[in-house]
């Protein structure tokens, strides 16, 4: 686990979004963009700034697939599990990839290089199967392309 | 030499950036001066990356292009040449109203947008009263393109008539249905049309603030929409004085956080407020108590992005397209196991078979088509025997289907429909917000029950039917309420796939 992030940096992020209507999701996204997770230290500061309870905050963070309470691997590989990708072999490709890495969904490779997440549709349904590594999209994914990608991210 | 190269995510996913880089470096090597304009996608995804070169004012297409094709494309002798893009069968057969500019203009060039008819609709609306704007939308017959098909004008009327110090326009850009990408394509390819549509909606109902709730799975769309809003604000299209009219409208882009259920409007509103994306009971309608309990128009991207063209061409001109009570155009998204996938905008009424076989060219694998799922993960699996059905809201409903957001996912004969039914339940279990017991618990039990069927348990099928009834009747929103549709359509149209296990067990 890394050292806890500086409180003043967290406060600056909260303050930058506090005046928005419905500020909580923008705050959580900004924190995760900066620290790659929602630092535990941010909890009381958010609750204080928005006048919400710890239970409410936990409820929100745990509801959404995107938010994590610990940093992910250095890269995040999302593989689409939805119907259009299944129609062209997406399921087999996902299973093969997970087996190759010895991981289940949400798992991270031992060296911390890559975290594998399921995703339900990337809007690339006419060039499926689809995947996304960090913010880069890939269409017509197959075993060979996946292997190259895994090598590139150091998995 | 002018080159038009898409920046759409689908083109990027197929390597367009590498093609653009190869073209730039090849041109430099040969000393050819080129001007690269990045556009949205024409929607012919099977031809992406599709590069276009302008010759005498006509755009000639080359695709699917690879970096190795760069030299031949610049020399004009590439074997990937397709001829004038506008003359391609796929383009000629469409009625591109909502998507008229997508793939044509630079999405972030407001002057280019105006040169192609942009802002005419808003300018016309600025000269009308709120009620006149609402009436125009009613005349157009526009219905919610997100899936529910509720008449847009009637929704606007309710918000227009509500009395409140603040009203809102919320655009639902949480396009989570598999097989749909029209929202993404228009946000990446013509973002100003959505901004213009929201501004017109604001004028109609008296709302001065808008939000686009955009799913986090679309980073490219988020970047383009955010930039477009900044440009619109800088150029006076948004802000305290919209196009110098003295009327105010401004908007923000908000990023979702990976919850499918937030595509349901009340769940979306809770999420926008910073809460768990739990579905709200209706009434109160969002039109009366929506975002922060204020009257709120919640419309899908395509509904709002279609508003400008209705005001530009006139409501009746729009309503002249279509079939029955489905007026105007439908933005079909042809996906999955299909030879020619992409976006095709046409008048309502085209048959499913024409879409799958004629436009789509059958399956990508060349095997016989077995089924098409229309309307996303909550839509029915339709067998080939139902392919005569015309695509319209009521017409598909009569066939036990759902038009939804008009995504069509095609499967060949290797698809196991029991597996697909199981996935529908599994997906519902993962994405249920948890409010309604039939959805939260029922979906988990649904997976278990389908597993029992797979193992040959003869008692499990009536149980599944009963469970689906309970989910349908006992869930507040479409997630729990419509998950039974793909499940039961698979059971009734493909009984053989549910009998395998039984045969094996006997």
What is the total residue count of chain B? 506
* Local structure of B173: helix, strand or coil: strand
* Local structure of A154: helix, strand or coil: coil
> B-chain residues within 8 Å CB-CB of A140?
13-14
Same domain, B396 and B468: no
Q: Is residue A87 part of a domain?
A: yes
- ipTM confidence: 0.96
* C-alpha pair distances (Å), A128 with each of A91, B2, B20, B46: 11, 31, 22, 11
Strands annotated E in B384-480 = 407-412
How many domains does the structure of chain B reveal?
4
Same domain, B315 and B326: no
Q: Is residue B100 part of a domain?
A: no
Q: Best mutation site among A32, A126, A145 for testing chain B: the one with the most B CBs within 10 Å?
A: A126
Tokens representing B299 are 């419309």
Q: Is residue A2 part of a domain?
A: no
Is A127 annotated in some ligand binding site?
no
Q: Does the beta carbon of A64 lie under 8 angstroms from any beta carbon of chain B?
A: yes
Rounded to whole angstroms, how far apart are CA atoms B223 and B216? 11
Strands annotated E in B325-375 = 326-327, 329-336, 342-347, 369-374
Residue-wise over A45-75: b if at least 16 C-beta within 10 A, else e?
bbbebbebeeebbeebbebbbbbbeebbbbb
Same domain, B179 and B300: yes
CB contact under 8 A, B336 and A21: no
Interchain CB contacts (distance < 8 Å): A and B: 162
pLDDT tens, position by position, A62-121: 999 999 999 999 999 999 999 999 999 999 999 999 999 999 999 999 999 999 999 999
Q: Is residue A1 part of a domain?
A: no
CB contact under 8 A, A50 and B333: no
Same domain, A52 and A19: yes
Q: Is residue B105 part of a domain?
A: no
Q: What are the φ and ψ backbone dihedral angles of B425, each rounded to 5 degrees?
A: -70, -40
Same domain, B206 and B241: yes
Q: Is residue B475 part of a domain?
A: yes
> A-chain residues within 8 Å CB-CB of B175?
121, 123
> Do the beta carbons of residue B128 and residue B257 sit within 8 Å?
no
Same domain, B283 and B336: no
Q: What are the φ and ψ backbone dihedral angles of B484, each rounded to 5 degrees?
A: -60, -20
- List chain B pLDDT tens, one digit each, 506 residues: 999 999 999 999 999 999 999 999 999 999 999 999 999 999 999 999 999 999 999 999 999 999 999 999 999 899 999 999 999 999 999 999 999 999 999 999 999 999 999 999 999 999 999 999 999 999 999 999 998 899 999 999 999 999 999 999 999 999 999 999 999 999 999 999 999 999 999 999 999 999 999 999 999 999 999 999 999 999 999 999 999 999 999 999 999 999 999 999 999 999 999 999 999 999 999 999 999 999 999 999 999 999 999 999 999 999 999 999 999 999 999 999 999 999 999 999 999 999 999 999 999 999 999 999 999 999 999 999 999 999 999 999 999 999 999 999 999 999 999 999 999 999 999 999 999 999 999 999 999 999 999 999 989 999 999 999 999 999 999 999 999 999 999 999 999 999 965 555 44
> Do the beta carbons of residue B181 and residue A126 sit within 8 Å?
yes
Same domain, B219 and B294: yes
Rounded to whole angstroms, how far apart are CA atoms B478 and B497? 26
pLDDT of amino acid B73? 97
Q: Is residue B99 part of a domain?
A: no
Q: Best mutation site among A52, A59, A121 for testing chain B: the one with the most B CBs within 10 Å?
A: A121
Same domain, A80 and A57: no
Examine the fold and report which residue of A16, A41, A63 is the final residue of a domain before the chain moves on.
A63
Tokens representing B255 are 């990023």
For residue B175, give the nearest of A125, A88, A24 by alpha carbon.
A125
* C-alpha pair distances (Å), B163 with each of B126, B130, B137, B296: 21, 14, 21, 12
Same domain, B305 and B356: no
Domain that holds residue B405: 322-372+381-410
> Do the beta carbons of residue B264 and residue B271 sit within 8 Å?
no
Examine the fold and report which residue of A42, A63, A84 is the final residue of a domain before the chain moves on.
A63
Same domain, B69 and B114: no
How many domains does the structure of chain A reveal?
2
* C-alpha pair distances (Å), B492 with each of B51, B372, B472: 45, 14, 16
Domain that holds residue A59: 7-63
pLDDT of amino acid A1? 46
Same domain, B315 and B345: no
Q: Does the beta carbon of A102 lie under 8 angstroms from any beta carbon of chain B?
A: no
CATH number at A89 reads 3.40.30.10
Is A85 annotated in some ligand binding site?
yes
**Measured between CA atoms, how close is B36 to chain A, in angstroms?**
22
pLDDT grade for A143, boundaries at 50, 70 and 90:
very high
CB contact under 8 A, B427 and A85: no
Cβ atoms within 10 A of the Cβ of B240, count?
A: 11
Same domain, A99 and A43: no
> B-chain residues within 8 Å CB-CB of A125?
178-181, 333, 335-336, 341, 407, 409
> Do the beta carbons of residue A147 and residue B231 sit within 8 Å?
no
Same domain, A32 and A80: no
pLDDT tens, position by position, B200-248: 999 999 999 999 999 999 999 999 999 999 999 999 999 999 999 999 9
Angle CA(B195)–CA(B48)–CA(B66) in degrees, nearest 5?
135
Examine the fold and report which residue of A23, A42, A63 is the final residue of a domain before the chain moves on.
A63
> Do the beta carbons of residue B291 and residue B168 sit within 8 Å?
yes
Same domain, A52 and A88: no
For residue B251, give the nearest of B271, B231, B265 by alpha carbon.
B231
Same domain, B297 and B163: yes
Same domain, B58 and B149: no
Tokens representing B296 are 């709120």
Same domain, B281 and B180: yes
Rounded to whole angstroms, how far apart are CA atoms B348 and B340? 20
Q: Is residue B101 part of a domain?
A: no
Rounded to whole angstroms, how far apart are CA atoms A78 and A131? 6
Rounded to whole angstroms, how far apart are CA atoms B479 and B80? 44
* Local structure of A137: helix, strand or coil: strand
Distance in Å from the first CA to the final CA of chain B: 70
Which of 130-189 (B) contact A at CB < 8 A?
175-181, 183-185
CATH number at B30 reads 3.40.30.10
pLDDT of amino acid B502? 52
CB contact under 8 A, A137 and B12: yes
Residue of A nearest to B10 (CA): A124
Residue of B nearest to A135 (CA): B219
| Partner residues linked to A118 by β-bridges | A79
């Amino acid at each position: 686990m890394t050292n806890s992030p500086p409180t003043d940096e967290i406060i600056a992020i909260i303050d930058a979004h506090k005046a928005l209507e419905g500020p909580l999701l923008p705050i959580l996204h900004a924190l995760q963009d900066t620290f790659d997770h929602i630092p535990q230290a941010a909890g009381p500061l958010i609750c204080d700034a928005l006048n919400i309870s710890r239970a409410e905050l936990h409820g929100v963070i745990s509801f959404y697939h995107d938010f994590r309470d610990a940093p992910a691997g250095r890269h995040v590989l999302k593989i689409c599990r939805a119907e259009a990708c299944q129609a062209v072999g997406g399921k087999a490709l996902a299973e093969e990839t997970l087996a190759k890495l010895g991981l289940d969904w949400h798992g991270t490779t031992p060296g911390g290089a890559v975290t594998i997440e399921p995703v339900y549709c990337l809007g690339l349904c006419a060039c499926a199967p689809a995947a996304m590594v960090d913010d880069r999209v890939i269409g017509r994914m197959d075993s060979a392309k996946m292997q190259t990608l895994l090598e590139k991210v150091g998995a | 030499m002018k080159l038009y190269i898409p920046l759409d995510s689908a083109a990027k996913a197929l390597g367009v950036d590498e093609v653009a880089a190869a073209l730039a470096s090849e041109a430099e090597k040969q000393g050819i001066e080129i001007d690269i304009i990045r556009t949205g996608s024409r929607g012919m995804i099977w031809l992406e990356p599709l590069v276009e070169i302008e010759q005498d004012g006509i755009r000639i297409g080359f695709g699917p292009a690879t970096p190795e094709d760069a030299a031949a494309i610049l020399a004009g002798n590439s074997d990937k040449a397709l001829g004038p893009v506008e003359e391609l069968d796929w383009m000629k057969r469409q009625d591109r109203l909502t998507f008229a500019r997508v793939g044509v203009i630079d999405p972030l060039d407001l002057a280019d947008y105006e040169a192609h008819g942009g802002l005419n609709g808003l300018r016309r609306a600025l000269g009308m009263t709120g009620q006149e704007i609402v009436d125009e939308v009613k005349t157009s017959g526009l219905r919610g393109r997100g899936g529910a098909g509720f008449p847009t004008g009637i929704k606007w009327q309710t918000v227009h008539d509500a009395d409140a110090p603040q009203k809102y326009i919320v655009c639902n850009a949480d396009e989570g249905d598999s097989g749909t990408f029209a929202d993404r394509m228009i946000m990446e390819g013509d973002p100003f049309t959505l901004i213009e549509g929201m501004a017109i909606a604001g004028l109609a109902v008296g709302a001065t603030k808008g939000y686009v709730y955009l799913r986090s799975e679309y980073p490219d769309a988020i970047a383009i929409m955010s930039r477009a809003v900044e440009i619109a604000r800088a150029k006076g299209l948004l802000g305290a004085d919209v196009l110098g009219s003295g009327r105010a409208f401004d908007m923000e882009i908000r990023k979702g956080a990976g919850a499918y259920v937030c595509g349901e409007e009340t769940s979306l509103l809770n999420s926008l407020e910073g809460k768990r994306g739990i579905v709200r009971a209706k009434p109160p309608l969002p039109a009366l108590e929506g975002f922060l309990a204020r009257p709120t128009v919640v419309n899908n991207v395509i509904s709002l992005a279609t508003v400008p063209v209705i005001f530009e061409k006139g409501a009746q001109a729009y309503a002249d397209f279509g079939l029955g009570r489905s007026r105007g155009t439908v933005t079909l998204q042809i996906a999955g196991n299909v030879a020619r996938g992409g976006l095709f905008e046409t008048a309502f009424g085209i048959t499913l078979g024409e879409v799958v076989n004629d436009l789509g060219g059958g399956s990508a694998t060349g095997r016989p088509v077995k089924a098409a799922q229309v309307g996303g993960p909550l839509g029915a699996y339709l067998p080939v025997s139902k392919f005569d059905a015309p695509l319209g809201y009521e017409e598909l409903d009569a066939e036990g289907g759902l038009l939804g957001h008009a995504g069509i996912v095609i499967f060949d004969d290797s698809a196991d429909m029991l597996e697909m039914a199981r996935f529908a339940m599994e997906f519902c279990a993962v994405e249920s917000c948890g409010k309604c017991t039939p959805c939260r618990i029922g979906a988990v039990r649904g997976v278990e029950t389908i597993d029992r069927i797979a193992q040959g348990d003869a008692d499990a099928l009536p149980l599944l039917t009963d469970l689906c009834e309970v989910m349908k009747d006992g869930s507040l929103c479409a997630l729990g309420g419509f998950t039974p549709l793909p499940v039961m359509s698979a059971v009734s149209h493909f009984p053989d796939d549910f009998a395998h296990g039984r045969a094996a067990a006997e």
